[in-house]
Structure 1
Amino acid sequence: MCETGVKVEFEKKAFEQIRQNASQVLNSDDAPDVTEYNKGNATSGLLASQGLLTNLNDYVSEYGWDKIITGSLADTGKYDEQGMMGSGDWYGITTGAVK
């Protein structure tokens, strides 16, 4: 249990298991609230273009993440409508930006 009272259930999966099942898992009632997945056009970009990832634009603005995470670090979290990384809406925050 976190200080905030939020209960976090952590589930570790092998990359290959996630890669093979990501679209099925995210398109179900059991989809996780938060997940880590490879960044790129063929991975996160594909999921974003399919509408399987939550648009984070409001949170990015509210918390000022776009002021803190810039350049190539920001690019890894943004995907356009075709799933191309580097521009468009925010769908993630790279672990390289977390301190």
Structure 2
Amino acid sequence: MFGRLLTNIYQKLPTIGVLSQGYINPMINQTRSVSGALKGIRWDPMPIHKVLRCRFPRPKETKRVKQGFKARMSTLHGRKIIMRRILNGKSILTH
């Protein structure tokens, strides 16, 4: 709604004479000449610099799976760790 309002206002400004006097965009003639000069240049749609990263598993997810509740409860020493944290009064037992 707001965008449509702006386009309507911008379309009616030339009839008022504001755009012709250069009040809105005083650089309008320079931008047209620059865009005309750049027509001969071929722009590549794909960027040259490509960085591929493996984004999964994230470090926190790996830590959660490795030191999570199910992993702790599956072994004897894991259950000892959980019991020690309970006795120390920790509210968060595992990741």
User: Normalized against structure 2, the TM-score is what?
Assistant: 0.24
Q: Which of the pair has the greater relative contact order for Cα pairs under 8 Å at 6+ separation?
A: 1
Larger radius of gyration: 2
Higher helix share: 2
User: Normalized against structure 1, the TM-score is what?
Assistant: 0.23
Higher strand share: 1
